[in-house]
Amino acid sequence: MRRATCRAILAATLVIVAALACSEVGTDPSIPVAIQLSPSPLPSIVVGDSMRDSTGAAVPLRATVFNFRNEVIPDAPIRFLALDSAKRFSVDSTTGFVAANDTGQATVVATSLTLQSAPITLISVVRPGAMLALDSLRDSLHYAFTGRDTLRTFQVRIVQISGTDTIPVPSYLVHYAFTYPAGLDNTDSTAVQLVDDTKRPSLVDTTDATGTANRSLRITPDTKAFADSVVVQVTAAEPNGAAVPGSPIRYVLRVLIE
């Protein structure tokens, strides 16, 4: 009887010790409980080049590890892994630097101890060789109150030209800007604005599968009277920061709103 009682006490003691150990691990600020992998700074990486940011600088993948307080653990061990049997990308598992070897997509994850991040997708594309205007560079638009919006598109296409072949460059960043008249910054809903396909103000687009980017000049019933030219400049840059051949493209639209 006494021996059975001792066994019961010992078992209970072990349960308590185990519970305390788990409790200490769960409240240790140095123990990772979550990891987040940031997406690539740009929509795509050019084949033969490194992953870069908007300034043209080569940058590594970035992952952040958190403790139970949702605080960053700056010295947490992190490793990067490309789930890429086709070897489209080379990923340094320690530094996170990425190079694109071939066109296509691959999934990448980050790990810290037993944690694994949600995956992100890397996209690699051919090097842009030209940016082409798909709409008239000079036009006019007369808007009289109709109670409806009027849209005028400014489309461009980014391609690589190889012999007689024209290869579209998808997932490539394109910037739009007003360069005339002064003061148009796309934030005033009573002035003309550049909008996306959902009619939301936007000055940036990413080329689709055909290499096409598109933003539209929007005039609404609330747009103030206006009679002047509007100049829209469209730009795209190569990884080293140089302009893609053909960039910038300038659209000049004579607008009359009454």
CA dist., res. 140 & res. 181, Å (int): 15
Q: What tokens does 112 get? A: 């810290």
The CATH number of domain 130-257 is 2.60.40.10 = yes
pTM: 0.84
Positive or negative: CA dihedral 219, 222, 225, 226: negative
Q: What tokens does 187 get? A: 């934030």
CATH superfamily ID and name for 31-125: Immunoglobulins (2.60.40.10)
pLDDT at residue number 26: 63
Residues of the chain with pLDDT under 50: 1-3, 5-6, 8-23, 25
The CATH 2.60.40.10 portion of the chain extends over 31-125, 130-257
pLDDT digits 0-9 by tens, 58-89: 999 999 999 999 999 999 999 999 999 999 99
CA dist., res. 108 & res. 94, Å (int): 13
